[in-house]
């Protein structure tokens, strides 16, 4: 599926940019947006931003590190 940031509701776009900047700073090679946020058939306003991340360096891909990273992202975008 082709993806354009235009399918993301405007009030979520800055959150997406902040999250991707932070993930890239931690070394993420690929970041995917999925879920209701990008489904053009959605019949309701999305309430969250679903991201999948690939390519974190080994030292940064442990469950603890990823959990901390998710927590930081939540703090930054709330």
SS3 61: coil
SS3 44: coil
Phi, psi of 2 (to 5 degrees): -75, 145
Q: Is the pTM of this model over 0.95?
A: no
Residue-wise pLDDT for 2-60, tens only, equals 667 777 878 788 888 888 888 888 888 998 888 877 776 766 676 677 888 888 887 76
Dihedral angle of Cα 66, 71, 74, 78, to the nearest 10 degrees? -160
């Amino acid at each position: 599926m082709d993806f354009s940031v235009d399918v993301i509701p405007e009030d979520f776009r800055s959150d997406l940019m902040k999250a991707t900047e932070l993930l890239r700073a931690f070394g993420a090679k690929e970041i995917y947006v999925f879920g209701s946020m990008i489904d053009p058939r959605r019949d309701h306003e999305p309430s969250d931003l679903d991201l999948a991340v690939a390519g974190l360096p080994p030292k940064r891909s442990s469950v603890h590190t990823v959990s901390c990273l998710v927590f930081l992202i939540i703090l930054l975008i709330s």
